[in-house]
Structure 1
Amino acid sequence: MKVKNISVAAVLSLLGLATANANELSFIAPLVKESLLLGVSEGKHNVIVGERGHILVNQTTGDAFAENFRQVLSPANVTLTDVFSLNNFAWAVGHDATIIKSSDAGLTWTLVQSDPDLDRPLLSVYFFDEKEGIAAGAYGLFYRSTNGGDSWVQEGHPGMLSPDDNDYLDSIKDDEAFYLEELSFISPHLNKVSASENTLYVAGEAGLLATSSDKGKSWKRIDIGYQGSFFDVGILPNEISLAVGLRGHMFVLATDEQLPIETCVTTSLNSVITSENKVFVAGNNGVILSIDIQKLNEDSANAYDTFDRANIANCKRHPSVSLVNTDFSDAILGGIISNDRLLLVTAGGLKTMVIEE
């Protein structure tokens, strides 16, 4: 598969993260499409968020042409890390546990929550319907809303922790204040929340992969035998789950087993981008992998427990994975597929690519 690059922004270096107060309005920036962009959602309007509270909106449904995105005013001036759209609503999260909401599909926004004293970012947001949603982030930060994102209640989830950590917490549970303090301290970063029809997934720090069948009220860890961080779990068209993370690691998550998929890349993989019949995985250094879903269950010639990843020249890539040739060098942090195009948010701004069979 070939992908033609039609980037609209000059390549920039990774910009420093904003530290301004969320209560300050974001400003209209002339070079916003070239700035650090971190999250994108597909909905009635495609919405993109990034540093300094920047929000970009495309008012044409299904349009992935970057030149048609325009910046809208944001009620926050901190880095926004993720956005989720559903019908006429959209929610975005970011630094200082900031949460903002739109009731017109991203055209206007209201600040719902900001806690600069907490000094922890939210990294992911997901809504099950127009009323109930969750937001997750650093050090196990986890919130739930049952009124459409108008207010949020913080939760703790020891089910995401390792057995050793839970044993320790059990030993101090009689001291509730100390228990909650330690739970917050030892909880891993929650990098991404995603869902299939019946299962909620979280991908996180130190090998954390966990599932929930009750909308995140309780969690069960997946013991995958890998201690590196995961950054996304993608739900593929055939309901296969694909986890990606540090140093090119990729796993197919099945009910009874987890199959390692050799990618032959050593850069971090940040995002699984899916549509009805196409799957891409995007990562640092401009890496984009095309995934053949039909071949995912084939045995890999090189398992992670035998392959020397330091000797990448001798690597044999899994038959389901092919490297897409691009001239990108920035970290790709997310994307959506619209018609025959990839719309990508990167450390160097907004980019689009034509997918050619």
Structure 2
Amino acid sequence: MTSPCPASFLFSTLRLLLAVAVTVGMSSMLTAPAWSAAAASTDSLDVPAQRVDERLPAPLLSVARTGGALVSVGLHGLIQRSTDAGRTWQQVDCPVSSDLVQVRFRDELNGWAVGHDAVVLHTSDGGNSWQLQLDGRRLLTLLNTYYAPRADKGDESAALMLKEVAMAASSSATPGVLAAPLLDVMFDELGNGFAVGAFGLLLHSTDNGQNWEPWVERSDNERRMHLYGLAEHAGTFYISGEQGLLLRLDSEQQRFVKIDTPYTGTYFGVRAFDDLLLAYGLRGNLFASRDGGQQWQPVDTHLNSSLVGIVEQGNTLIVVSQGGQLVSVDRQSLQVKALADARVGEVYSATATQQAGSLVVTRFSGAKVIDIAQAN
């Protein structure tokens, strides 16, 4: 394996799309939480998330539904939970104050959240409490332990990895921490799952995240493109990334293989259903395949801003853009219907609520419930 650039291909201080959008906006926030400056001045892995005034807007990056509740995550380890379909939110304790950029639930009880400093959090009680499964310190140990024996046996790619890890560790703002940003995480019912992130970072677990194994070399991503999104259906995992990168897990090879697509821009997400595979990303681009990715057709969303989420509403899929625009797509015909602008500002993620006909989006100013029926 060769490195795509002189710098470490895994570890960078680069703020990627989901985190950049809100971080840049912080300077214009009129009522900044008092905890933001304090959290920035200490090691975020040693400091639990501080309590916030729930009456003030909170910077949230991702939201997920679990049973009768909604869980959202955001900057400085902020985790909030709602049991009234997103109308009100209560903060949940978080063991770290690192920025969290994605939250996923496999079932009503088990969920995971990931973010900066290689943080992976797990909940087994529907988001009421969270435990740290991985962080930048453990990742540093994991990579050294994994690649050192291979380098000792003459594996040049492993030796190169060790050099890059050492360089990243020496330049880290926090000694002994690899501040690798993880951008998505997903597990199936058997406890098999993956975490993905910047510069091709790919980790695999077979025990619900208790242990992790590097899978960077087990993907058709030699140029180490950023990996943004995950999807899973019927035991098959998919990964979306920059510059048109779309990968599918080959269970026999135990490797992610490339799926050719007609688009060379960034895919921020991928969704997989029984007979439909969707990849979406920059400038409103949405592509659909009915044969597992062999052939693709563009779906004209008539949207110009990046797509950040697809929310199921029965046989209809609600496509949400970063600009807050909404369109509905019929799952069978792929016919697109324009919906009224929700007028909620910049959006980072979306999910369905417990109430039919509504969804909730996350923004720098907190979560917002949108009534789809009224938006038609």
How does the TM-score come out when normalised to structure 1? Answer: 0.76
| Contact in 1 for aligned 2:244/2:263 (Cα 8 Å) | yes
Task: Specify the code of the residue in structure 1 equivalent to 2:194.
Answer: I
Match of 1:42 in 2: 65
In the alignment, is residue 66 of structure 1 matched against residue 77 of structure 2?
A: no
Residues 71, 153 of structure 1: CA spacing in aligned structure 2 closer, same or farther, 3 A cutoff? Answer: same
How high is the sequence identity, in percent, across the aligned residues?
A: 28
Cα offset, 1:219, TM superposition:
1.6
Please point out which of 180, 185, 191 is paired with 1:125: 185
What stretches of structure 2 of length at least 5 have no aligned partner? 1-21, 28-35, 137-173
Cα offset, 1:213, TM superposition:
4.3
Cα offset, 1:23, TM superposition:
2.6
Aligned to 1:252, the other structure's residue is in SS state: strand
**Larger deviation, residues 240-249 vs 24-33:** 24-33
Cα offset, 1:234, TM superposition:
2.1
Distance 2:50 2:208 in 1: 27
| Contact in 1 for aligned 2:71/2:127 (Cα 8 Å) | yes
Please point out which of 339, 343, 349 is paired with 1:327: 343
Please point out which of 73, 95, 98 is paired with 2:116: 95
Distance 2:254 2:23 in 1: 41
| Contact in 2 for aligned 1:335/1:345 (Cα 8 Å) | no
Match of 1:242 in 2: 278
Distance 1:200 1:247 in 2: 25
Query: CA RMSD of the aligned region, Å?
Result: 2.6
In the alignment, is residue 355 of structure 1 matched against residue 366 of structure 2?
A: no
**Larger deviation, residues 222-231 vs 152-161:** 152-161
How many residue pairs match? The answer is 297
Residues 12, 127 of structure 1: CA spacing in aligned structure 2 closer, same or farther, 3 A cutoff? Answer: closer
Distance 1:109 1:195 in 2: 23
User: How do 1:196-215 residues align onto structure 2 when only pairs under 5 Å count?
Assistant: 196-214=233-251
Residues 12, 339 of structure 1: CA spacing in aligned structure 2 closer, same or farther, 3 A cutoff? Answer: farther
Cα offset, 1:188, TM superposition:
0.9
| Contact in 1 for aligned 2:300/2:336 (Cα 8 Å) | no
How does the TM-score come out when normalised to structure 2? Answer: 0.72
Please point out which of 22, 26, 39 is paired with 1:15: 26
Task: Specify the code of the residue in structure 1 equivalent to 2:277.
Answer: S
| Contact in 2 for aligned 1:124/1:136 (Cα 8 Å) | yes
Per chain length, whose mean CA-contact separation is higher, i.e. which structure has more relative contact order (CA < 8 Å, sep 6+)? 1
Residues 249, 65 of structure 1: CA spacing in aligned structure 2 closer, same or farther, 3 A cutoff? Answer: same
Task: Specify the code of the residue in structure 1 equivalent to 2:79.
Answer: I
Cα offset, 1:130, TM superposition:
5.7
Please point out which of 258, 261, 264 is paired with 2:302: 264
What stretches of structure 1 of length at least 5 have no aligned partner? 1-10, 166-185, 297-318
Residues 32, 284 of structure 1: CA spacing in aligned structure 2 closer, same or farther, 3 A cutoff? Answer: farther
User: How do 1:218-237 residues align onto structure 2 when only pairs under 5 Å count?
Assistant: 218-236=255-273
Residues 250, 119 of structure 1: CA spacing in aligned structure 2 closer, same or farther, 3 A cutoff? Answer: same
